[in-house]
């Protein structure tokens, strides 16, 4: 993958990547290496010998954990930039009794500890990959970064607290600090909701969605990497929080159409009304509840298709020169051709 961002900025510079073995982290590490950076990856000890395929003398792996502050100082020592991608991201399980505590311990307190270690180590730049969930649900509108509603879930509240600490540290020090809030991320090797949706359409499990006028923002993993690099390289980004999207909000029906197009299947002229689909989802959740599953999974999935989650990312375009390279229409042919990881 060739992605040239910020010219020679990262050549021979050092960068620590937390979450470097994850979906986004692996892509970021690969691009940093292409640009000549000296890369260190922080990973839990159990992952030190797994999922690392860079085979490069320029990648150093160090064991550590966000919940173990003593392990973070050696990870930050000698680093110029920290890209903080690691976290606990199981937002849909927020209702489980221990999940709120884990979100806070990893996503909030873990970030606080990493910031302390970075500041004590003399790190110059700290780029935090947050989430759109750090702000409350915007409802049926596309919102800019001025949207400041409080987050509604333990996951979102922990991420919001981390964001606030990131910017606070930047204000009282010389550290360049930036928060990025990507929308739903798609791309090769992705897992979770979009691959499941592709598979449901492939197998004919999902009836044609109606056009409800809803809009949902998404972003390709390579464009998230672009945003991370630009946020680190541009002085104007310091102290800012940015949405990151592909600039093309999609309705549920449009998403359904694009998947069918990528699969080489014509789009049906009919659709199942939204009211019928919501009724079926409530029924499915009721049946699941009878067997002990009270997670409202069917309604959550349907909301991701027919609900709103629209974010206006023109600020990062205008201030940092961010230009999304990908949209779903371009990306989906490759995505539908890849088998799911969990199959």
Question: Taking the model in full, what pTM does it have?
Answer: 0.93
CA atoms within 13 A of residue 209's CA, in its CB half-sphere: 27
- Which pLDDT score, from 0 to 100, does residue 200 have? 86
| pLDDT tens across the length of the chain (343 residues) | 445 566 689 999 999 999 999 999 999 999 999 999 999 999 986 555 555 555 556 799 999 999 999 999 999 999 999 999 999 986 555 455 688 899 999 999 999 999 999 999 999 999 999 999 999 999 999 999 999 999 999 999 999 999 999 999 999 999 999 999 999 999 998 877 788 888 889 998 889 999 999 999 999 999 999 999 999 999 999 999 999 999 999 999 999 999 999 999 999 999 999 999 999 989 988 998 888 887 777 887 788 889 999 999 999 999 999 999 999 999 999 999 876 554 4
d(CA 260, CA 105): 41
Angle between helices 297-306 and 193-203 (to 10 degrees): 90
Cα 326 to chain centroid distance, Å, stands at 15
- How much of the chain is helix, strand and coil, in % rounded to 5? 45, 15, 40
Q: What is the pLDDT of residue 279?
A: 93
Cα 233 from Cα 32, distance rounded (Å): 12
Backbone CA torsion sign across 157, 158, 160, 161? positive
- Secondary structure tally for the chain: helices H, strands E: 12, 11
pLDDT at res. 8? 86
- Rounded to whole angstroms, how far apart are CA atoms 226 and 267? 33
CA distances from 111 to 159, 164, 237, 277, 312 (A): 9, 11, 20, 40, 26
Of the candidate CATH numbers 3.60.20.10, 3.40.50.880, 3.30.565.10, 3.40.50.720, the domain formed by 14-190+216-249+310-332 belongs to 3.40.50.720
Neighbouring CB atoms inside 10 A of 167's CB total: 16
């Amino acid at each position: 993958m060739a992605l040239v961002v910020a010219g020679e900025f990262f050549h021979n510079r050092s960068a620590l990547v937390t979450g470097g073995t994850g979906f986004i982290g692996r892509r970021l590490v690969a691009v940093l290496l292409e640009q000549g950076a000296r890369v260190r990856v922080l990973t839990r000890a159990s992952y030190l010998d797994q999922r690392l395929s860079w085979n490069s003398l320029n990648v150093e792996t160090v064991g550590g954990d966000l919940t173990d502050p003593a392990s973070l100082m050696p990870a930050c020592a000698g680093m110029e930039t920290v890209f903080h991608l690691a976290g606990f991201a199981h937002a849909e399980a927020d209702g489980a009794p221990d999940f709120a505590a884990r979100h806070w311990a990893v996503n909030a307190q873990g970030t606080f500890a990493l910031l302390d270690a970075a500041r004590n180590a003399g790190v110059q730049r700290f780029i935090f990959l947050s989430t759109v969930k750090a702000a409350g649900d915007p409802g049926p509108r596309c919102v800019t970064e001025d949207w400041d509603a409080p987050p509604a879930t333990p996951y979102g509240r922990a991420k919001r607290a981390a964001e606030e600490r990131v910017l606070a540290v930047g204000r009282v020090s010389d550290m360049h600090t930036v928060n990025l809030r990507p929308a739903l991320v798609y791309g090769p090797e992705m897992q979770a909701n979009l691959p499941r949706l592709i598979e449901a359409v492939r197998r004919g499990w999902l009836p044609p969605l109606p056009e409800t006028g809803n809009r949902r923002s998404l972003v390709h993993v390579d464009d998230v990497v672009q945003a991370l690099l630009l946020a680190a390289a541009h002085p104007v980004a310091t102290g800012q929080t940015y949405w990151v999207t592909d600039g093309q909000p999609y309705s549920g029906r449009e998403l359904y159409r694009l998947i069918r197009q990528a699969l080489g299947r014509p789009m049906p002229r009919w659709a199942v009304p939204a009211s019928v689909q919501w009724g079926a989802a409530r029924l499915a959740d009721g049946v699941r509840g009878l067997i002990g599953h009270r997670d409202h999974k069917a309604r959550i999935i349907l909301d991701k298709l027919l609900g709103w989650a629209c974010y206006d990312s023109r600020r990062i375009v205008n201030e940092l020169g961010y230009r999304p390279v990908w949209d779903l229409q371009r990306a989906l042919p490759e995505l539908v051709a890849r088998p799911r990881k969990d199959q």
